[in-house]
Amino acid sequence: MAEFGKNILYFDCVTSTFDELTKYPPENGLVVVADRQTGGIGRKGRAWVSDMGGAYFSFYILPDDKTENIPFLAIVCALAAYNTISRYTTCAIKWPNDIVSDGKKVCGILTKSAFNGDSSVYVMAGIGINANNTDFGELDYRATSLKLLAGKEIDRNKLVEEFFEEFNKIYLNLSNEEIIRLYKNACVTLGSHVAVHYNTDGTVFEGKCIDVRTDGSVDIKTENGIINVNAGEVSVRGIYGYV
């Protein structure tokens, strides 16, 4: 399989790197990078603040049989982002795929799947890393940047290159079991008391996260037993607000 990050298209400003990527046929590892997004979207359709200073990029993954599970690919992306950001500052993964440092979010990840004309699945992964951003407006209490954490200007192009160095090491060389083990070691949610918010019916329950399964879901131990969670909103006590 070809290495990722070798074919990169650069733009000054786009609505979102996801939108721009869809203008090109699915090609394994094709990357779109932008200095700014006017309509960046995070998980569950939330707006993603995408002013100058961040590293914003999306890329195609055409999965093989080993990693065709979409949630698992999100875990691969999260681990690659964690390893990249760890080069600059201490950080952790908040399940499923936020990277946090000093109690604040420094990176967000979004994955979407779609079908090719031949019915094969392809995945679009979108990464937003707060590199040199310093003003997050009303989100200051829950967002930070590598510049604020490391105390120096960050080379955003180098940051993108470093992400794909880490992604290639993980995705092309490690087994699923090794990836899950490394993810667990980096995941602040594991072992923490969490509140689970389901968007479908508004159900909320609390418990302790006791495991991350190979499909990317988590097991939450509650007073009524163990509940497996693979969707919904999971908040961790002490990580930009418990609820």
Residue 237 has pLDDT above 70, yes or no: no
Same domain, 180 and 201: no
Same domain, 202 and 226: yes
Q: Which long-range contacts (CB under 8 A, 24 or more apart) does 113-119 make?
A: 113/70, 114/26, 116/26
**100 vs 214: which has the higher pLDDT:** 100
Looking at residue 121, its pLDDT comes to 84
Distance CA(159)–CA(37), nearest Å, equals: 18
Residue 151 has pLDDT above 70, yes or no: yes
Distance CA(130)–CA(85), nearest Å, equals: 10
Looking at residue 243, its pLDDT comes to 39
Assigned domain for 173 exists: yes
Same domain, 87 and 126: yes
- Percent of the chain past pLDDT 90, that is, above it, reads 59
Same domain, 218 and 177: no
Q: What is the arithmetic mean of pLDDT over 60-76?
A: 78
Distance CA(211)–CA(167), nearest Å, equals: 23
**58 vs 66: which has the higher pLDDT:** 58
Residue 98 has pLDDT above 50, yes or no: yes
Same domain, 94 and 206: no
Assigned domain for 141 exists: yes
Same domain, 37 and 84: yes
Same domain, 174 and 201: no
Same domain, 121 and 40: yes
Q: What is the arithmetic mean of pLDDT over 56-63?
A: 94
Residue 61 has pLDDT above 80, yes or no: yes
Same domain, 21 and 53: yes
**42 vs 163: which has the higher pLDDT:** 163
Looking at residue 123, its pLDDT comes to 92
Same domain, 157 and 54: yes
Residue 84 has pLDDT above 90, yes or no: yes
Assigned domain for 217 exists: yes
Assigned domain for 225 exists: yes
Question: Tokens in use for 175?
Answer: 């087994």
Assigned domain for 2 exists: no
Beta strands at 98-101 and 92-94: parallel, antiparallel or unpaired:
antiparallel
Residue 127 contacts residue 55 (beta carbons within 8 Å)? yes
How confident is the prediction for the chain on average, in pLDDT? 86
What range does the domain containing 207 cover?
Answer: 193-236
Same domain, 81 and 157: yes
Q: Give the number of other CB atoms < 10 A from CB of residue 188.
A: 19
Looking at residue 76, its pLDDT comes to 94
Same domain, 127 and 200: no
Question: Tokens in use for 130?
Answer: 């707060």
Q: What is the arithmetic mean of pLDDT over 152-179?
A: 95
Assigned domain for 241 exists: no
Residue 29 contacts residue 4 (beta carbons within 8 Å)? yes
Looking at residue 152, its pLDDT comes to 94
pTM: 0.90
CATH code of the domain covering residue 125: 3.30.930.10
CATH code of the domain covering residue 211: 2.30.30
Looking at residue 234, its pLDDT comes to 77
Give 1's pLDDT tier (boundaries 50, 70, 90).
low
Assigned domain for 66 exists: yes
Assigned domain for 242 exists: no
Residue 159 has pLDDT above 80, yes or no: yes
Question: Tokens in use for 49?
Answer: 């603040």
Q: Give the number of other CB atoms < 10 A from CB of residue 198.
A: 13
Residue 119 has pLDDT above 90, yes or no: no
Number of domains in the chain: 2
